[in-house]
Amino acid sequence: MAGREFFTVQSVSQALAGFRPARRTGVEKVPREAALGRVPASPVLSSSALPGFARSTVDGYAVRAADTYGASDSLPAYLDQAGAVRMGSVPPAADTAVRPGTAVQIPTGAAVPTDADAVVMIEYTQVTMPGLIEVTRPVAVGEGVVRADEDVAVGAEIAPAGRPLRAQDLGMLAAVGVTHVPVCARPRVAIVSTGDEVVPPETARLDPGQVRDATASALAAMVTEAGGEPSPRGIVADDAEALAKTLRAAVEECDMVVVSAGSSVGARDETAAAVESLGAPGIYCHGLAIKPGKPTLLAECDGVPVIGLPGNPLSALVVFRMVGLPVLRSVAGITVTPPEPATTATLTRAVASAAGRLDVVQVQVDNGPERTATPLFGFSALLSLLTSADGYVVIPEAATGLDAGSTVTVTLYR
Amino acid sequence: MAGREFFTVQSVSQALAGFRPARRTGVEKVPREAALGRVPASPVLSSSALPGFARSTVDGYAVRAADTYGASDSLPAYLDQAGAVRMGSVPPAADTAVRPGTAVQIPTGAAVPTDADAVVMIEYTQVTMPGLIEVTRPVAVGEGVVRADEDVAVGAEIAPAGRPLRAQDLGMLAAVGVTHVPVCARPRVAIVSTGDEVVPPETARLDPGQVRDATASALAAMVTEAGGEPSPRGIVADDAEALAKTLRAAVEECDMVVVSAGSSVGARDETAAAVESLGAPGIYCHGLAIKPGKPTLLAECDGVPVIGLPGNPLSALVVFRMVGLPVLRSVAGITVTPPEPATTATLTRAVASAAGRLDVVQVQVDNGPERTATPLFGFSALLSLLTSADGYVVIPEAATGLDAGSTVTVTLYR
């Protein structure tokens, strides 16, 4: 009975490398203000140069550099002040012409008159009599000036395809005047719970033997965090017919389907049978060499990835993080995975693991003088292990456990 | 002229330790589905035990452990099957009474009959004739069973105050039937831009000398990411009167105010004057020992923190990340700062720094055989430095630079 369900146990890395559902979401245009975290469908190119004009980087005087050569404290260069540039405008050329032997006052960020080729900082100047500027240090051509296309050239890529937009990317889009961005549509992810014992979280009083659905709420949050749009489908009783009907609708309406099976072997078998009936090519693997999470099911039904999760919430959430999120990112068009918080720490206790199996161990991190990670042990259905954990340690397939005192990498929850 | 503005330059750590605005947002109740990332205003306690009933962790038979003592393959214990427990319900006691010498079939996750004290896995049983179970291995009291309050006891803390709710926390709230959570209200953060040269990002064609407002868009995204609610206030010209009016309204209506000054020294002075007029206790410091970002201003006006950022976008965003976000988190009630992605890497080039100053160096990370961080140099107003960076390295105040080949910690953008 126990062996029956695991007819194609695969390693997690094999499964992730081999399971490549065809599904990709379409492209939609979103306004820049709503584009944080959205995924550009193609590289975003700039149609204008930035800053767009030669710009002063200092408060001082726009000059011809040659006029300052050899200037020093003891032998300053003397230049006639020929006007002043104001912020945000280019005054009539006659007012700010920088002819040989003249200087034009200019604030940081203002447009350098076209006939000047450098800006000397005000610190290296003195006004000894009105209209006459003493320059006490030479400037090279280009000094104190940002070129018109030094920040961004016309046609330059300002955001790559496939990388979720960050705060500074939105700043750059604003700087070059992009108001809308073509991005991959958010994948709709159906979340289905099964199990005769499972009742909605809103249920005020439980009968003995009933449990509230914890998995669906946590999955919805993880989907949202990863850039998807959760589509909650409620709880289906352990009934092959009802489950198949719910899953069929989910596959038709969504870009990805996640179903948490009931806890018992029978419930898991029914889930597998229902998934198998959905469409080609069907089940890719049933059983992953991961702990917790062995009874995981991966399937592709008419291009839509379907992931069957173990019945208990902790296992379900661990597997969804390790296996479901990479699939979700692929459907979402994300090719540059955002980095996750992680830290190195010293393991306080040994952890056993079987070779050929990926173990995911929940840990608490103590940021004392030496940073330590303490494994949380317990029956894998205890959700409190996950809520009291600061992060997790992955024991790779090749290892047979970790000794106390090992240095480990902890991926941190945020 | 250059020295005038920096009348109270402070180190960043001094400023963050000493600048403690009184502002805290109020408390509001939000539904669980909308609570991801929200900050519990007080510890969330469970009013019920989890799982709430003694629960089987395996598929097998509920027994009295004593009946299995001494059982082995060669000398099995024989028990009469007295019924079967179904998922999600407790059947009439008469059907599932586990009297001495009897066993009741039970699936994983089902309620263990009260008169049983262990569950033996089906793998260690055989049914040799209908109604008679052979048990080939002894079980201890409690084996195969999760106690009614083993996951969560009544009154236990399931989420601490001050730590943004994570996906698994929402799962736990669902498990114990919490539908609404009292959380700190999102701080409203006014974002004000100044500068005669600054125009809205929507401006299709710029006059020479004009730049689009990049800072406000990026700040809004950072505020959103950190759990605040951006309140964009547009662009104010370099005019003390207009600026004071805009800031006054912002202080009245919001929980925090961020103003990016114009680029020139004059514009910065006007910002300082306007902030000074807002309310007590006023300016806390003007000038921070940070590069980029020296001309930063911190003030508290009638309890509301006001942060004056440098005029150029890169400096403004660096300072807001280093100084503004800690203040925002404090106003938002966050006491447990979510971890940030970080990695160690080998610096490919030396970076100079002045002692007593915090340097924030943008870097590109190459995940080759040896992970390297390459500093991005350039005039600090180039926004492209920030968009092409993968993260940043902080050179602490005590250091005078970093040698090529140093191992550094890179905080990664996500």
Instruction: For residues B60 and B46, state if they share a domain.
Output: no
How far off is chain A from B12, nearest CA to CA, in Å? Answer: 22
Rounded Cα gap, residues B157 and A224, in angstroms: 25
Rounded Cα gap, residues A372 and A358, in angstroms: 22
Of the residues B133, B168, B184, which one is the last residue of a structural domain? B184
Rounded Cα gap, residues B204 and B181, in angstroms: 45
CATH code, domain with A59: 2.170.190.11
Residue A2 reports pLDDT greater than 50: no
> Long-range contacts of range A270-274, CB-CB < 8 Å, 24 or more positions apart?
A270/A194, A270/A238, A270/A239, A270/A240, A270/A243, A271/A194, A271/A243, A271/A297, A271/A308, A272/A5, A272/A297, A272/A308, A273/A240, A274/A240, A274/A243, A274/A244, A274/A247
Find the Cα–Cα–Cα–Cα dihedral B300, B303, B304, B310, rounded to 10°. Answer: 10
Average pLDDT (A48-60) is: 93
Instruction: For residues A163 and A40, state if they share a domain.
Output: yes
Residue A183 reports pLDDT greater than 90: yes
End-to-end CA distance of chain B: 39
Question: Would you state the pLDDT for residue B134?
Answer: 96
A382 vs B392, residue with greater confidence: B392
CATH code, domain with A295: 3.40.980.10
Is B179 strand, coil or helix? coil
Indicate the pTM of the whole model.
0.93
Average pLDDT (B259-269) is: 76
Average pLDDT (B298-326) is: 94
pLDDT band with cut points at 50, 70 and 90 for residue B388: very high
Q: Which tokens belong to A201?
A: 């979280």
What one-character DSSP code corresponds to residue A152?
Answer: B
List the single residue in A with minimal CA-CA distance to B110: A209
Of the residues A166, A184, A202, which one is the last residue of a structural domain? A184
Instruction: For residues A42 and A72, state if they share a domain.
Output: no
Question: Would you state the pLDDT for residue B2?
Answer: 35
Question: Would you state the pLDDT for residue A329?
Answer: 96
Of the residues A331, A365, A391, which one is the last residue of a structural domain? A331
Question: Would you state the pLDDT for residue A381?
Answer: 72
In a domain, B307, yes or no: yes
Question: Would you state the pLDDT for residue A1?
Answer: 32
Question: Would you state the pLDDT for residue B168?
Answer: 97
CA distances from A310 to A20, A255, A289, A359, B155 (A): 21, 21, 13, 15, 29
Instruction: For residues B315 and B358, state if they share a domain.
Output: no
Residue B356 reports pLDDT greater than 60: yes
pLDDT, tens digit (0-9, with 9 covering 90-100), for A4-27: 344 567 889 889 998 988 888 999
> What's at A360, amino acid-wise?
V
pLDDT band with cut points at 50, 70 and 90 for residue B297: very high
- Choose among B193, B257, B270: nearest CA to B228: B257
A4 vs A380, residue with greater confidence: A380
Instruction: For residues A169 and A32, state if they share a domain.
Output: yes
Contact B201 A263 (CB under 8 A): no
CATH code, domain with A165: 3.90.105.10
Give Cβ neighbours of residue A30 (< 8 Å, ≥ 6 apart): A38, A180, A181, A183
pLDDT band with cut points at 50, 70 and 90 for residue B5: very low
A68-97: burial string, b at 16+ Cβ within 10 Å, e else: beebeeeebbebebbbebbbbebbeeeebe
Question: Residue B68: CA atoms inside 13 Å, Cβ hemisphere, count?
Answer: 27
Chain A hits for B391, CB-CB cut-off 8 Å, are 339
CB contact B351 to A (< 8 Å)? no
Instruction: For residues A225 and A250, state if they share a domain.
Output: yes
Give Cβ neighbours of residue A309 (< 8 Å, ≥ 6 apart): A215, A258, A259, A260, A261, A293, A296, A315, A316, A319, A320, A324
Quote the ipTM score: 0.92
CB contact A266 to B (< 8 Å)? yes
pLDDT, tens digit (0-9, with 9 covering 90-100), for A222-261: 999 999 999 999 999 878 889 999 999 999 999 999 999 7
Instruction: For residues B317 and B215, state if they share a domain.
Output: yes
- Residue in A87, A217, A338 closest to B171 by CB: A217
Rounded Cα gap, residues B145 and B303, in angstroms: 55
CB contact A343 to B (< 8 Å)? yes
pLDDT band with cut points at 50, 70 and 90 for residue B266: confident
Question: Would you state the pLDDT for residue B4?
Answer: 39
Q: Which of A123-132, A218-227, B259-268, B353-362 shows the lowest mean pLDDT across its residues?
A: B259-268
Question: Would you state the pLDDT for residue A244?
Answer: 93
Residue B125 reports pLDDT greater than 60: yes
Q: Which tokens belong to B309?
A: 């950022």
Contact A214 B88 (CB under 8 A): no
pLDDT, tens digit (0-9, with 9 covering 90-100), for B82-121: 889 988 776 666 566 788 999 999 998 899 998 999 999 9
In terms of DSSP H, where are the helices of A214-364? 215-225, 240-253, 265-276, 313-319, 325-331
For every residue of B50-98, DSSP letters joined together read: BSSS-EESSSEEEE-GGGGTT--SSS-EEEEEEEEPPTT----HHHH--
Rounded Cα gap, residues A412 and B340, in angstroms: 9
A positions 119-158 inside 8 Å of B (CB): 122-123, 146, 150-152, 158
Peptide bond into B21 cis (omega under 30): no
pLDDT band with cut points at 50, 70 and 90 for residue A175: very high
Question: Would you state the pLDDT for residue A90?
Answer: 66
Rounded Cα gap, residues B192 and B374, in angstroms: 34
Instruction: For residues B280 and B327, state if they share a domain.
Output: yes
Question: Would you state the pLDDT for residue A263?
Answer: 62
Instruction: For residues B248 and B324, state if they share a domain.
Output: yes
Contact A168 B413 (CB under 8 A): yes
Residue A269 reports pLDDT greater than 90: no
List the single residue in B with minimal CA-CA distance to A170: B218
Strands A342-347 and A407-412: antiparallel
- Residue in B159, B174, B207 closest to A212 by CB: B174
List the single residue in B with minimal CA-CA distance to A146: B379
Rounded Cα gap, residues A388 and B396, in angstroms: 33
Contact B171 A386 (CB under 8 A): yes
Is B371 strand, coil or helix? strand
List the single residue in A with minimal CA-CA distance to B238: A87
The answer to whether A77 and A134 are in contact (CB under 8 A) is: yes
Give Cβ neighbours of residue B129 (< 8 Å, ≥ 6 apart): none
Give the DSSP H or E segment for B174: helix B167-175
Give the DSSP H or E segment for B385: helix B383-387
Instruction: For residues B133 and B163, state if they share a domain.
Output: no
Instruction: For residues B199 and B348, state if they share a domain.
Output: no
Residue B172 reports pLDDT greater than 90: yes
End-to-end CA distance of chain A: 39
Residue A103 reports pLDDT greater than 90: yes
CB contact B109 to A (< 8 Å)? yes
CA angle A61, B381, B413 (to 5 degrees): 170
CB contact B206 to A (< 8 Å)? yes
CB contact B221 to A (< 8 Å)? yes
CB contact A312 to B (< 8 Å)? yes
Rounded Cα gap, residues B164 and B187, in angstroms: 14
How far off is chain B from A90, nearest CA to CA, in Å? Answer: 6
Handedness of CA B385, B388, B392, B393 (dihedral sign): negative
Task: Provide the mean pLDDT of chain B.
Answer: 91
Question: Would you state the pLDDT for residue B311?
Answer: 86
In a domain, B336, yes or no: no
CB contact B295 to A (< 8 Å)? no
Question: Would you state the pLDDT for residue A6?
Answer: 42
Count of positions (residues) in chain B? 414
Question: For an interface test with A, which of B5, B217, B231, B337 has the most A Cβ atoms less than 10 Å from its Cβ?
Answer: B217
In a domain, A151, yes or no: no
Average pLDDT (A67-81) is: 95
For every residue of B229-273, DSSP letters joined together read: EEEEEEEE-S-HHHHHHHHHHHHHH-SEEEEEPPSSHHHHHHHHH
Contact A107 B214 (CB under 8 A): no
The answer to whether B64 and B142 are in contact (CB under 8 A) is: no
CATH code, domain with A403: 2.40.340.10
pLDDT band with cut points at 50, 70 and 90 for residue B8: low
Share of chain A above pLDDT 90, in %: 74
Give the number of domains in chain B: 4
Q: Which tokens belong to A153?
A: 């050239």
Contact B168 A88 (CB under 8 A): no
Contact A88 B379 (CB under 8 A): no
In a domain, B244, yes or no: yes
Strands (E), A141-179: 145-146, 157-159
List the single residue in A with minimal CA-CA distance to B156: A384
Contact A107 B266 (CB under 8 A): yes
CB contact A88 to B (< 8 Å)? yes
Residue B378 reports pLDDT greater than 90: no
Question: Would you state the pLDDT for residue A385?
Answer: 94
In a domain, A278, yes or no: yes
Find the domain containing B173 and state its range: 27-50+154-184
Question: For an interface test with A, which of B48, B180, B202, B383 has the most A Cβ atoms less than 10 Å from its Cβ?
Answer: B383
Give Cβ neighbours of residue B37 (< 8 Å, ≥ 6 apart): B164, B165, B227
How far off is chain B from A133, nearest CA to CA, in Å? Answer: 16
List the single residue in A with minimal CA-CA distance to B54: A209
Average pLDDT (B218-235) is: 97
In a domain, A1, yes or no: no
Instruction: For residues B241 and B289, state if they share a domain.
Output: yes
In a domain, B166, yes or no: yes
In a domain, B4, yes or no: no
pLDDT band with cut points at 50, 70 and 90 for residue B169: very high
Contact B343 A339 (CB under 8 A): yes
Task: Provide the mean pLDDT of chain A.
Answer: 91
CB contact B409 to A (< 8 Å)? no
